[in-house]
């Protein structure tokens, strides 16, 4: 179904890959948490004393037991929630935020959905349309511009959701279990797509996920959080260079690393 | 999907031989569809007419027959006698005007109030109880008062219609405006959307299905309101409610039946029209059996 679209977009991606944009201020942290805690008004402590930094051109994954405050952490990073204590620094003028639910407006076509953020920020129509075309091409949704969300599969909705954030040219990209609701094959395919987009756009990504394999496959570092109140109990570097081939998932080194992460995660969940 | 089928009848014919498309809609021949839609209510109509005839000729003696004249007498006296029919049609036209003007005012007022209430909890809390009161007080008891205060004119009839049809519009529209999920709201917050932008791009489109459901309910009520107002206001231009009252007093049951028939038709037409408009507005993205995507 997507053959015609992906052929054209693969060409665009290939062009873009030949000249990756320079990474600005590689050494300066893009996002930093310093001793951040969050206590809700009902007294629940979601996260406690969380400190870490992420840099442009890297993807950092966060795994942890259910309810450990991973999503809260992203909400704090985006500014949707305020921290109770500690310090967060992030340039919020160009942040992409993808939720677990694609949150597309059902009454808008894919094109109009992707245009939404630029529209909210008052970007001129011609520029908006250009950004929208680029983003749709980047996620391989050409040919589906005039479809309504209810005519798309879950994977395609998520692509549209990612495209919508890409129009902002985000330097920092927050992902809250974006592929959690997808079947395994769609999930793997979208993981590969995401890496391709990542290599084109070179944003700094912070990804919350339930899947250890997804975390290891996508990221440069995996942070493991403890059960609530969530603390970071491990910071594991992932040494595999980008671009990563889909076959990496079946290599021994990959399995070993995923095993290590799983073990720590299991201990954290007890 | 349906658009394609319409444009390519040949393609539709081909696919109809194939298996189900997964969306549960099997392409069907148009006459088959027609029979399926009109068949059952037609059968009920025939059955009702049968019962009617039975009651008239078996249960009632000849001198009591005016209580329930047989259907053919209603047709002959009410529908085929132009003098009687034109009287009913004129009344119907005046009632239609009252109902439609009242309904339009109720729509504008109801949507405006719902939007106002959706903007702040405090406004909702202060206004909503009165909207509920509007629904629960016996409007019938208010009708004579409205007549005393505003006279027995066109506009006091319109006020009765507004009282009858305002509440469903307010509640449905408000429900729709408040049905926007927290994720969507977060999205707009992240991009610094203002109150107006949020209303225009998020809340109003989201409320469309619920709002039109409210319009449809109120459309039916507006006709009832117009007839009730008319029934009580014995002055001014007579609408169909006045005629119903008159025919009942004169024991002209054939014309009474004709008047009732036409007022029901008016109600049904208005109800359907609003259903159709609502369907056209949201059909590209909203499936009433599954909700939005």
CATH code: domain of residue A24: 3.40.50.300
Angstrom distance (rounded) from CA B73 to CA A39: 79
CB contact under 8 A, A80 and B192: no
Q: Which residues pair with A37 in a beta bridge?
A: A85
Q: Which domain holds residue B172?
A: 70-282
Residue A63 lies in a domain: yes
- How many contacts, defined by CB atoms under 8 Å, are there between A and B? 58
Looking at the fold, whether B35 and B83 belong to one and the same domain comes out as: no
Q: Is the pLDDT of residue B183 over 50?
A: yes
pLDDT given for residue B11 in this prediction? 37
Q: How far is CA A159 from the centre of its chain?
A: 12
pLDDT given for residue B173 in this prediction? 96
Restricting to A residues 167-206, those with a Cβ less than 8 Å away from any Cβ of B are none
CATH number of the domain to which B232 belongs: 1.10.3720.10
Residue B93 lies in a domain: yes
Contacts of B181 in chain A (CB under 8 A): 103
B22 pLDDT tier (thresholds 50, 70, 90): very low
Looking at the fold, whether B202 and B149 belong to one and the same domain comes out as: yes
CB contact under 8 A, A107 and B202: no
Residue B145 lies in a domain: yes
Tell whether pTM > 0.95.
no
Looking at the fold, whether B123 and B6 belong to one and the same domain comes out as: no
CB contact under 8 A, A121 and B282: no
Over range A67-77, report the average pLDDT.
Answer: 90
Looking at the fold, whether B212 and B79 belong to one and the same domain comes out as: yes
pLDDT given for residue A22 in this prediction? 53
Restricting to B residues 152-181, those with a Cβ less than 8 Å away from any Cβ of A are 181
Angstrom distance (rounded) from CA B223 to CA B42: 24
Question: Is A124 buried (19+), middle (13-18) or exposed (0-12) by CB count in 10 A?
Answer: exposed
Residue B293 lies in a domain: no
Contacts of A104 in chain B (CB under 8 A): 293
Residue A158 lies in a domain: no
Q: The tokens of A250 are what?
A: 């079946």
CB contact under 8 A, A157 and B293: yes
Contacts of A103 in chain B (CB under 8 A): 181, 183-184, 186-187
Q: Are B2 and B23 in contact (CB under 8 A)?
A: no
Q: Is the pLDDT of residue A187 over 60?
A: yes
Nearest CB partner across the interface for A103, out of B187, B201, B284: B187
Contacts of A78 in chain B (CB under 8 A): 190
CB contact under 8 A, A105 and B197: no
B5 pLDDT tier (thresholds 50, 70, 90): very low
CB contact under 8 A, B191 and A117: yes
Mean pLDDT, chain B, rounded, equals 84
State percent of chain A over pLDDT 90: 65
Q: Are B241 and B203 in contact (CB under 8 A)?
A: no
A161 has a chain B CB within 8 A of its CB = no
CB contact under 8 A, B285 and A150: yes
Over range A154-166, report the average pLDDT.
Answer: 93
Tally of domains in chain B: 2
Over range B252-267, report the average pLDDT.
Answer: 90
CB contact under 8 A, B292 and A107: yes
Q: Is the pLDDT of residue A76 over 50?
A: yes
pLDDT given for residue B105 in this prediction? 97
The shortest C-alpha distance from A19 to chain B (Å) reads 30
B10 pLDDT tier (thresholds 50, 70, 90): very low
Q: Which of A74, A107, A160, A169 to mutate to test the interface with B (most CBs of B within 10 A)?
A: A107
């993808």: which residue's tokens?
Answer: A98
Angstrom distance (rounded) from CA B194 to CA B161: 36
Distance separating the N- and C-terminal Cα atoms of chain B: 16
Q: Is the pLDDT of residue A13 over 50?
A: no
Tally of domains in chain A: 1
Contacts of B206 in chain A (CB under 8 A): 107
A78 has a chain B CB within 8 A of its CB = yes
Over range B120-136, report the average pLDDT.
Answer: 89
The shortest C-alpha distance from A166 to chain B (Å) reads 14
pLDDT given for residue A68 in this prediction? 85
Q: Are A254 and A245 in contact (CB under 8 A)?
A: no
Q: Is the pLDDT of residue A145 over 90?
A: yes
B110 pLDDT tier (thresholds 50, 70, 90): very high
Phi then psi for residue A218, to 5 deg, are -90, -30
Is the model more confident about B125 or about B35? B125
CB contact under 8 A, B183 and A103: yes
Over range B66-91, report the average pLDDT.
Answer: 85
Q: Which residue of B lies nearest to A168 if distances are taken between CA atoms?
A: B191
Mean pLDDT, chain A, rounded, equals 87
Q: What is the pLDDT of residues A214-261, one digit of tens each?
A: 999 999 999 999 988 889 999 999 999 999 999 999 999 999 999 999
Looking at the fold, whether B31 and B167 belong to one and the same domain comes out as: no
Q: The tokens of B41 are what?
A: 């209510």
Q: Which residue of B lies nearest to A96 if distances are taken between CA atoms?
A: B190
Q: Is the pLDDT of residue B18 over 60?
A: no
CB contact under 8 A, A120 and B208: no
Choosing from B20, B38, B59, the residue where a domain stops is B59
pLDDT given for residue A1 in this prediction? 42
B26 pLDDT tier (thresholds 50, 70, 90): low
State percent of chain B over pLDDT 70: 89
Contacts of B195 in chain A (CB under 8 A): none
pLDDT given for residue B75 in this prediction? 85
Q: Which domain holds residue A81?
A: 3-105+169-269
Q: Are strands A95-98 and A29-39 parallel, antiparallel or unpaired?
A: unpaired
Q: Which residue of B lies nearest to A100 if distances are taken between CA atoms?
A: B183
Residue A123 lies in a domain: no
The shortest C-alpha distance from B278 to chain A (Å) reads 14
Phi then psi for residue A224, to 5 deg, are -110, 130
Nearest CB partner across the interface for A150, out of B189, B193, B293: B293
Q: How many Cβ atoms from other residues are within 10 Å of residue A29's Cβ? A: 15
Residue A177 lies in a domain: yes
Residue B34 lies in a domain: yes
The shortest C-alpha distance from A150 to chain B (Å) reads 4
Output the 3-class SS for chain A: CCHHHHHHHHHHHHHHHHCCCCCCCCCCEEEEEEEEEEECCCCCEEEEEEEEEEECCCEEEEECCCCCCHHHHHHHHHCCCCCCEEEEEECHHHEEEECCCCCCCCCCCHHHHHHHHHHHCCCCHHHHHHHHHHHHHHCCCCCCCCCCHHHCCHHHHHHHHHHHHHCCCCCEEEEECCCCCCCHHHHHHHHHHHHHHHHHHCCEEEEECCCHHHHHHHCCEEEEECCCCECEEEEEECCCCCCCCHHHHHCHHHHHHHHHHHHHHHHHHC
Over range B63-82, report the average pLDDT.
Answer: 82
Angstrom distance (rounded) from CA A151 to CA B22: 12
Contacts of A157 in chain B (CB under 8 A): 293
A128 has a chain B CB within 8 A of its CB = no
Over range A22-44, report the average pLDDT.
Answer: 80
CB contact under 8 A, A99 and B186: yes
């Amino acid at each position: 179904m997507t053959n015609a679209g992906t052929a054209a977009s693969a060409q665009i991606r290939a062009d873009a890959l030949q000249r990756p944009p320079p990474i600005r201020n590689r050494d300066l942290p893009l996002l930093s948490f310093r001793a951040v805690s969050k206590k809700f008004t009902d007294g629940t402590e979601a996260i406690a004393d969380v400190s870490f930094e992420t840099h442009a051109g890297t993807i950092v994954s966060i795994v942890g037991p259910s309810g450990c405050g991973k999503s809260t952490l992203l909400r704090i990073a985006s500014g949707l929630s305020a921290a109770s204590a500690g310090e967060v620094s992030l340039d919020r003028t160009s942040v992409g935020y993808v939720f677990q639910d694609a949150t597309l407006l059902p009454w808008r076509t894919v094109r109009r959905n992707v245009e939404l953020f630029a529209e909210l920020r008052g970007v001129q129509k011609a520029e908006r349309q250009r950004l929208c075309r680029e983003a749709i091409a980047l996620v391989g949704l050409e040919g589906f511009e005039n479809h309504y969300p209810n005519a798309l599969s879950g994977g395609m909705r998520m692509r549209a959701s990612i495209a919508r954030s890409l129009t902002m040219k985000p330097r920092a990209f927050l992902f809250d279990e974006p592929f959690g609701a997808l079947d395994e094959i769609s999930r793997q395919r979208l993981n590969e797509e995401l890496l391709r987009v990542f290599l084109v756009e070179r944003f700094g990504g912070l990804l919350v996920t339930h899947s250890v394999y997804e975390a290891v496959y996508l990221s440069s570092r995996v942070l493991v959080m403890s059960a609530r109140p969530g603390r970071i109990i491990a910071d594991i570097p992932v040494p595999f260079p980008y671009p990563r081939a889909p076959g990496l998932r079946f290599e021994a080194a990959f399995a070993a690393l995923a095993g290590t992460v799983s073990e720590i995660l299991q201990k954290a969940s007890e | 999907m349906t658009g394609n089928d319409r444009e390519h009848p040949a393609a539709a014919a081909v696919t109809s031989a194939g298996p189900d498309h997964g969306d549960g809609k099997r392409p069907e021949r148009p006459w088959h569809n027609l029979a399926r839609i009109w068949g059952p209510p037609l059968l009920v109509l025939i059955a009702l007419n049968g019962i009617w005839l039975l009651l008239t000729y078996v249960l009632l003696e000849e001198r009591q027959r005016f209580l329930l004249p047989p259907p053919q007498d209603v047709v002959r006296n009410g529908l085929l006698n132009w003098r009687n029919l034109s009287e009913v049609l004129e009344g119907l036209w005046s009632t239609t005007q009252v109902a439609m003007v009242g309904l339009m005012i109720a729509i504008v007022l109801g949507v405006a109030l719902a939007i106002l209430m959706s903007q702040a909890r405090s406004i909702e809390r202060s206004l909503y109880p009165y909207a509920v009161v509007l629904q629960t007080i016996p409007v019938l008891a208010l009708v004579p008062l409205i007549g005393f205060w505003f006279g027995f004119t066109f506009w006091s009839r319109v006020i009765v219609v507004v009282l009858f049809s305002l509440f469903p519009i307010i509640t449905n529209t408000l429900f729709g405006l408040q049905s926007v999920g927290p994720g969507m709201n977060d999205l707009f917050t992240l991009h610094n959307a203002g109150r107006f932008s949020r209303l225009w791009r998020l809340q109003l489109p989201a409320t469309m299905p619920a709002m039109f459901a409210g319009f449809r309910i109120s459309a039916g009520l507006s006709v009832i309101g117009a007839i009730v107002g008319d029934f009580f206001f014995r002055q001014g231009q007579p609408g169909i409610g006045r005629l119903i009252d008159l025919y009942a007093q004169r024991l002209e049951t054939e014309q009474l039946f004709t008047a009732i028939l036409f007022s029901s038709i008016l109600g049904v037409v208005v109800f359907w029209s609003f259903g159709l408009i609502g369907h056209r507005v949201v059909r590209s993205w909203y499936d009433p059996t599954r909700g939005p995507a």
